[in-house]
Amino acid sequence: MANYDVIVLGVGGMGSAACFELARRGRRVLGLEQYPLVHARGSSHGHTRIIRTAYAEHPDYVPLVRRAFERWYELEQLTGRHLLTECPCLNVGPPGSGHVAGVRASVRTHGLEAEELTAAEVERRFPAFRFPADYSGVLERAAGFLYVEDCVRAHIDSAVSLGADVRAEEPVRAWEAAGNGVRVTTDRGTYSAAKLVVTAGAWATRLLADLGVGLRVMRQTLLWFDAGTRRAEFARDRFPLFVCDSPGAAFYGFPAIDPHGLKIARHYGQPELPDPDGVDWDVTADDAAAIRPLMDAHIPGLGALTKGQVCMYTVTPDHHFVIDTHPAHPQVSVACGFSGHGFKFASAVGEVLADLADTGTTRHGIGLFRATRFRSAECGTRSAE
């Protein structure tokens, strides 16, 4: 039976970062991935992901995203690869928008630089947009987009160069606590280690079924639309990243950075599934049709669908992350339920997970993400389903 200091289950965005951080601390690391490395059957693919500092979801995310920026820049320097492109992010919505209010709360709490814009000012600054007169926006400069597959590959390659053993196409069948350590069984064998890190994405619904969180899986589509003769209007120096809190259907998008045009996707609003088995991985005409009314209303004139990909959100009941040690097994650290807004944090989450594996504590503020918050009666019913 092979023995390691730490085994990492799942080598996507969070797992690859954890492998890298543990390996550079000199730990003997085994990373296990059920698919080929840097695959398109999880949550860490689709070319780009937004990174933003004025975090609408809660002000407590801001220190962690600032650390993530630092770690992405460091990874660029270590590998010589371009991973992060800076680009302003426009957050916009109608009166009473929870997203825009959340952005403003983070701006106030942390003294962030941001610019308030009326709907008319948004359209003067970015003529491609159309918003009702009562909409308003917050434009933040401390934002950008990450090249998601390149980020995962950079973490994996760096981990391997430091001695990590990263194995692809080796599904994990079970894990168990074994004394003060752990034992992991795969299709190829059994491994033991002092510590375990579980970063299994949507498969945490199975591998962490005893966590009591009530994880669900949501199918989401990433769609690219032709910019046609207006391509210059949507270039990165003229068009921002955006998050639009349109009533009943929030959506977000990117400038045109490749021949496929604008990448646009809805945020939430899809059925919650019990596990990843129910996800349809084919993009259909219905997926494009579902978002077309939002585009026609707010970014009119975009052309046909040029590309599509499916990814998964793994959602918690409150849409906040779970980053913690396992309540029943302190030698096990977990990171799951990133609820469709987690990838930007991967570089910092890898550091947190390495801290938890080493000492069970971290200097980073993760109180919001503790698994024990779901021990309330309200969440207990759902997690037992």
Tell me the catalytic residues.
Answer: 45, 48-49, 263, 267, 311, 344
The single-letter DSSP state of residue 116 is: E
* Rounded distance between C-alpha atoms, residue 335 and residue 110, angstroms: 25
Q: In 260-283, which positions are buried (b, 16+ CB within 10 angstroms) versus exposed (e)?
A: bbbbbbbbeeeeebebbeebeeeb
Element of type H or E holding 347: helix 346-359
DSSP assignment of 61-97 equals GHHHHHHHHHHHHHHHHHHT---EEE--EEEEE-TT-
Q: Tell me the angle at which helices 148-161 and 62-79 cross, rounded to the nearest 10 degrees.
A: 60
CA torsion sign for 166, 42, 245, 234 is positive
Phi-psi region of 319 (alpha: psi -120 to 50; beta: other; left: phi over 0): left
